[in-house]
Amino acid sequence: MSGDIVIIGGGLAGLTTANRAAELGLNPTLLEQGGDPQYYCNSRFAGGILHVAFKDLTAAPEEIAASVVRLTGDGEATVNGTVMAEECGRALTWLRAEGARFIKGGSLEFMRWILVPPRPRGAGLDWKGRGPDVLLRRLTANLSERGKSIRLNVRARELIVEDGRVAGVIVENNGVSERIEASAVVITDGGFQANMELIRRFVSPAPEKLLQRGAATGRGDGLMMAEVAGAKLVGMDRFYGHLLGREAFEIEKLWPYPIIDPIAAHSIVVNEDGQRFLDEGMGGVYMANEVAKLDNPLSATVVFDDAVWNGLAADNRYPPCMNPVFVNAGGTVLEAGDLAGLAAQAGLSPEGLAATVAAHNAAIGESGKWSPARSTNKFTPQPIATAPFRAIPICAGITYTMGGIAIDRDSRAQRPEGGTIPGLFAAGSASGGMEGGPAAAYLGGLTKAVITGLRAAESASSDMHAKA
């Protein structure tokens, strides 16, 4: 087979790329490894909130860019992250023209654009007929109306490289190898969160102890093919995810929601010795990454008091709230009248926990000094002083990896020594260099998918017209 552009992966980035390519008069071939028309992918399972750096997509680009820089700090992520600030308004306009519908979901700024219909305010995974699923089905129908379609049950295996240029891909279709030639290949098959070897290589010493919080379909096929073809990989050590109750491994209703982040960000997270080991004030995505780095990622516990449980944990501004949703879904909240009793239930060192809580309370009241250091500009630490005291054993839930194929501002795949690989592009979670970094900065996966997908299609079209 042959065509203008081959797109590997049928999530939001792939469908965006394919539809935009068709709009531009190209002949896209969209490949998807799933065999069912409602194939699993992270885009379909997503919460449906579109934002950039927790800002409204219609805010001034310079305001959004400032938020990007504030979250990512200096470095490679900041450079490409500002593309999202520049392009998010256009991406929103394009989505709405494609039939996407939105509502305002809450008082927080980043909830301004939520896909319709929104997910219910409850625990567990409820994706069928919800906003992201509806959007993917709409984009699939749009592609069909443009005379194109998705080829299901096709898994990409190897890039075709000729004279330093990517010229197509070799795929496996129902056990049969097939060669597809093209002027451009766009890798949009998501992150590598479901590839245990890659997770062990880059993210965690114990990948089997991380909970797959998403569709678990991202195996890094495109990333590995691109690396063989000479592409640069960037930001591979960070992922987007959240803290979840450890029982989520056994109780399906405890993932992907409710998340433990809001409690942990205001309280303390300790190891089996009862000692803090991370900066809770950096937020849930950062904490999930730090828990994943532990030799035993299933050894962390969040500790808090009654005031937090009946206050912050019951706050429904970012649904679903923990109290009472977590317990109603089957989650266990350990409870005791004193810290020693709580430590015994949680399997923590009573001496270590008592010393940690005392130091934490003292830092709030007098010293302002935590060890390890704690940020206080985003989340106000709360004392652990009001009985009964509570604890939840936690795990790191990994949704998608933030690192991937290094791209330039036009979604072209880059080489380690500089320059780009002709004919090769990446978009969505297969691409790196927008999120992550020391703070594990999360900028918005759905928005990133649309922006990089639009750019990939437009850059490929521009290259083809230039050759002509």
Q: What is the CATH number of the domain that holds 291?
A: 3.90.700.10
Q: What pLDDT, in 10s, does the model give residues 187-232?
A: 999 999 999 999 999 999 999 999 999 999 999 999 999 999 999 9
Co-location of 334 and 267 in the same domain:
yes
Number of domains in the chain: 2
Residue finishing a domain among 368, 398, 428: 398
* Cα–Cα distance, 38 to 99 (Å, whole number): 18
- CB of 8 within 8 A of CB of 34? no
Co-location of 98 and 198 in the same domain:
yes
Residue 281 confidence (pLDDT) above 90: yes
Query: 245-249, 301-305, 311-315, 424-428: which range is least confident on average?
Result: 311-315
Co-location of 190 and 269 in the same domain:
no
Residue finishing a domain among 341, 367, 398: 398
Co-location of 389 and 414 in the same domain:
no
Q: What pLDDT does residue 367 have?
A: 73
Residue finishing a domain among 398, 431, 448: 398
Co-location of 177 and 315 in the same domain:
no
Co-location of 66 and 178 in the same domain:
yes
Q: What pLDDT does residue 1 have?
A: 57
Q: What pLDDT does residue 202 have?
A: 98
Co-location of 340 and 373 in the same domain:
yes
Q: What pLDDT, in 10s, does the model give residues 79-138?
A: 678 899 999 999 999 999 999 999 998 888 999 999 999 988 899 999 999 999 999 999
Co-location of 380 and 420 in the same domain:
no
CB-count exposure of residue 25 (10 Å: 0-12, 13-18, 19+): exposed
Q: What pLDDT does residue 75 have?
A: 63
Co-location of 86 and 185 in the same domain:
yes
Of 120, 41, 53, which is closest to residue 80 (Cα–Cα)? 53
Q: What is the CATH number of the domain that holds 455?
A: 3.50.50.60
Phi–psi pair at 350, nearest 5 degrees: -65, -40
Q: What pLDDT does residue 319 have?
A: 75
Mean pLDDT across the chain: 95
Per-residue confidence band for 2, with pLDDT thresholds at 50, 70 and 90:
low
Co-location of 134 and 161 in the same domain:
yes
Co-location of 298 and 371 in the same domain:
yes
Co-location of 191 and 292 in the same domain:
no
Residue 23: which domain range? Answer: 2-237+402-467
- Does the pTM surpass 0.85? The reply is yes
Per-residue confidence band for 76, with pLDDT thresholds at 50, 70 and 90:
low
